[in-house]
């Protein structure tokens, strides 16, 4: 091989290995999507910002921001966590095809429900109960506050004309698989699980804000997993496209309707979510261990605000998937 050919061959092989950018355009199931091109096809103009480390795709009513080498993007201001970092090569930004399909595409083009199957029945799970107090901060037990928020949310949903099935009544203990089972047997259209966070250790009391979880897509890693393990398919994964849209709507409504800081739409394989026969969301509505969040959790006004915001999110999701219209 002549030296110049050898150099070209080496250069070519380096490009194909090191640069997913070599395969832009048509989606590659194993590959990367050039975000500027993807946006252009949807009428979203690319703008590089943040000293070259941020790509905004901007439309008339949409702005999606990607941050180089981070496992997040911002969809119309909502922080969305992903398991494969956004990749930057020069001024081009790439999203893993798997993340595109499981997360960005459903948000950009929400699924529609058939007109014959409107959302009528919501299963509300007040986290913990009975022998399981959940998180504890001093004398305060999570199970009590989740129940009070569930009661408020129930009333707000019923006022909006929806039916509600409560997964637990009073201070009773229900196994996690029975929680999903009860929602499934009731043929609920949506499942909403209510929780509060807590964290111990040095500096922990500074941690505050809302985290909204939905089921991790098959093959992806959960947000709080440190290793990159991937994971199996669960029956709840049939609703992946709805799960992320529901989570984002609820999260956005809570961030907008309360004083809680945005800690992101996240992914987890919580047992109850894995077993659902309907879209589901898991709300960690603030940190019991933080004074600021505590003002929301431990006061009736704060809980009413949170419950109404969660219900606003459920109703926004309902409108979105039933009409398929713009947000």
Q: Give the residues lining the site for Zn ion (CB under 5 A).
A: 127, 134, 195
Output the DSSP codes for 35-101.
Answer: HHHHHHTTT-EEEEEGGGTEEEEE-SS-EEEEETT-SEEEETTEEEE-SS--EEETTEEEEEHHHII
Q: Of 102, 110, 107, nearest to 219 (Cα)?
A: 102
Strands 190-197 and 163-166: unpaired
Strands 121-126 and 190-197: parallel
Residue pair 80/247 in contact (Cβ under 8 Å)? The answer is no
Give the Å distances, CA to CA, from 27 to 20, 109, 228.
12, 16, 23
Query: 194 has which bridge partners?
Result: 126, 283
Structure tokens at 140: 């305060």
Looking at the Cβ atoms of 134 and 279, the one nearer to Zn ion is 134
Looking at the Cβ atoms of 127 and 294, the one nearer to Zn ion is 127
Rounded to a whole number of angstroms, the minimum distance from the CB of residue 74 to Zn ion is: 27
Looking at the Cβ atoms of 61 and 200, the one nearer to Zn ion is 200
Q: Which residue is nearest to Zn ion (CB)?
A: 195
Rounded to a whole number of angstroms, the minimum distance from the CB of residue 197 to Zn ion is: 8
> At residue 195, what are phi and psi to the nearest 5 degrees?
-145, 165
Looking at the Cβ atoms of 182 and 195, the one nearer to Zn ion is 195
Residue pair 323/118 in contact (Cβ under 8 Å)? The answer is no
Looking at the Cβ atoms of 134 and 231, the one nearer to Zn ion is 134
Structure tokens at 81: 């966590």
Position of tokens 């915001």?
309
Cβ-Cβ contacts under 8 Å for 96 (sequence gap 6 or more): 31, 32, 33, 84, 87
Rounded to a whole number of angstroms, the minimum distance from the CB of residue 98 to Zn ion is: 29
Rounded to a whole number of angstroms, the minimum distance from the CB of residue 253 to Zn ion is: 20
Rounded to a whole number of angstroms, the minimum distance from the CB of residue 198 to Zn ion is: 9
Give the Å distances, CA to CA, from 279 to 219, 240, 246.
19, 8, 7
Looking at the Cβ atoms of 97 and 222, the one nearer to Zn ion is 222
Looking at the Cβ atoms of 195 and 318, the one nearer to Zn ion is 195
Looking at the Cβ atoms of 127 and 279, the one nearer to Zn ion is 127
Output the DSSP codes for 129-194.
Answer: BTTB--SEETTEEHHHHHHHHHHHHHHHHHHTT-EEEESS-SS----HHHHHHHHHHTT-SEEEEE
Looking at the Cβ atoms of 39 and 134, the one nearer to Zn ion is 134
Rounded to a whole number of angstroms, the minimum distance from the CB of residue 134 to Zn ion is: 4
Rounded to a whole number of angstroms, the minimum distance from the CB of residue 107 to Zn ion is: 26
Rounded to a whole number of angstroms, the minimum distance from the CB of residue 128 to Zn ion is: 6
Rounded to a whole number of angstroms, the minimum distance from the CB of residue 18 to Zn ion is: 44
């Amino acid at each position: 091989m002549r030296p110049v050919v050898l150099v070209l061959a080496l250069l070519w092989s380096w490009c194909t290995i090191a640069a997913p950018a070599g395969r832009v355009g048509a989606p590659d199931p194993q590959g990367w999507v050039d975000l500027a091109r993807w946006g252009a096809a949807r009428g979203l103009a690319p703008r590089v910002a943040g000293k070259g480390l941020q790509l905004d795709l901007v439309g008339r009513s949409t702005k999606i921001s990607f941050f180089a080498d981070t496992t997040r993007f911002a969809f119309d201001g909502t922080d969305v966590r992903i398991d494969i970092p956004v990749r930057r090569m020069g001024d081009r930004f790439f999203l893993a095809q798997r993340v595109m399909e499981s997360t960005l595409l459903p948000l950009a083009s929400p699924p529609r429900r058939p007109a014959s199957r409107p959302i009528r029945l919501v299963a509300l799970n007040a986290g913990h109960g009975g022998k399981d107090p959940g998180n504890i901060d001093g004398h305060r037990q999570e199970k009590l506050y989740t129940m009070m928020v569930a009661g408020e949310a129930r009333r707000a949903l019923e006022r909006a004309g929806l039916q509600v099935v409560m997964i637990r009544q009073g201070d009773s203990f229900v196994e996690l698989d029975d929680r999903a089972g009860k929602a499934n047997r009731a043929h609920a259209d949506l499942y909403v699980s209510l929780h509060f966070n807590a964290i111990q250790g040095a500096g922990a009391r500074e941690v505050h804000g809302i985290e909204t979880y939905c089921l991790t897509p098959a093959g992806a890693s959960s947000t709080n997993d440190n290793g990159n393990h991937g994971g199996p398919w669960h029956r709840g994964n049939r609703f992946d496209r709805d799960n992320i849209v529901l989570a984002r709507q609820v999260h956005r409504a809570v961030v907008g309707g309360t004083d809680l800081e945005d800690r992101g739409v996240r992914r987890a394989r919580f047992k109850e979510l894995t077993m659902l026969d309907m879209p589901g969301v898991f709300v960690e509505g603030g940190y019991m261990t933080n004074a600021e969040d505590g003002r929301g959790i431990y006061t009736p006004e704060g809980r009413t605000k949170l419950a109404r915001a969660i219900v606003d999110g459920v109703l926004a999701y309902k409108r979105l998937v039933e009409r398929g219209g713009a947000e």
